[in-house]
Amino acid sequence: MFWEITGRIISTYWPMFLRGAAMTLFVSILSTIIGTFIGLLIGSIRTIPVPERGVKKVILKFINTVLSMYVEFFRGTPMIVQASVIYYGSLMVFGIDMDRTFAAIFIVSINTGAYMTEIIRGGIISIDKGQFEAAHAIGMNHTKTMLHVILPQVMRNILPALGNEFVINIKDTSVLNVIGVTELFFQSKSIAGINYRYFETYFVTCFMYLIMTLSVTRVLRGIERKMDGPDSYNIIPGNQMQVAKPEDIIRRTRNKDSHKN
């Protein structure tokens, strides 16, 4: 009986389910990416060495305090509450009628940004001090050190945590149904409201979330493995002999440049 009903629900409402899943994925992917950028920016700012005295010290301390408040607020309150405050608040206080999808991405992004800030700050702190010192010793300032040496290594290290955030976002977009975003849970509520088969409907929903999160986890693990690639072989120094001769490399780079003209 149960499987019959479930089967019927799927065959009747699959467009709605899929549309909901698409919205869920769209919002989670975009928000995780934007949130990561926010985290990179703020995490880097929070690890700028504080000058010992002067105007710059005061400005930096002020900025750090503001950023700390941002992180604490968005980590310390439930996203469902943040969503309501931001969406209805922007309408009532500022008179801005936000498009719901835009609101969804905005809310999840700044929420993710708060968590990613701390993840990335932790990633930066865990990088060996010698990397910073070597970069400084060849004359790199903080920005160049971050861009070319530190942050690339941080990104590789935090990939598991990033994947975690992504999976959390997929599930937590469900709370956006309170502001009427047509993601998967909202669609499920609508479907269940039509046919009153709450258990069977949400059973399907459950599976859809599971499929999404499992797929994302698999893909990210594949990316991790690809990034680490060569490490899995046992390289004996002798085998590193590169076939290309130095003159060839330089010739190739020169030819590449001449093609640009």
Partner 1 sequence: MEKVIDIQHLSKSFGTNEILKDIDFSVDKGEVVCIIGASGSGKSTLLRCINLLEKPSGGQIIYNGENILDNNHDIYAYRTKLGMVFQQFNLFNNHNVMSNCTIGQIKVLKRSKVEAEKVAMKYLKVVGMDQFINAKPRQLSGGQKQRVAIARALSMEPDVMLFDEPTSALDPEMVGEVLTVMKDLVKSGLTMLVVTHEMQFAGEVANRVVFMDKGVIAEEGTPEQIFNNPKQERTKEFLKRVLR
Residues that bind partner 1 (CB under 8 A): 128, 130-131, 133-141, 144, 148-149, 152-153, 156, 230-231, 235, 237, 240-242, 246, 249-250, 253-254, 257
Least distance (Å) between residue 1 CB and partner 1: 58
Between 89 and 152, CB nearer to partner 1: 152
**Angle of CA points 35, 38, 43, to nearest 5°:** 120
Are 204 and 3 in contact by the 8 Å Cβ rule? The answer is no
Least distance (Å) between residue 224 CB and partner 1: 15
Q: Which amino acid is at 252?
A: R
DSSP class of residue 141 equals -
Least distance (Å) between residue 221 CB and partner 1: 21
Between 240 and 261, CB nearer to partner 1: 240
Between 119 and 149, CB nearer to partner 1: 149
The string of DSSP codes covering 57-70 is HHHHHHHHHHHHHH
Q: Count the alpha carbons within 13 Å of 199 in the hemisphere toward its beta carbon.
A: 4
Between 11 and 232, CB nearer to partner 1: 232
Least distance (Å) between residue 258 CB and partner 1: 10
User: Is 84 exposed, middle or buried, given 0-12, 13-18 or 19+ CB atoms closer than 10 A?
Assistant: middle
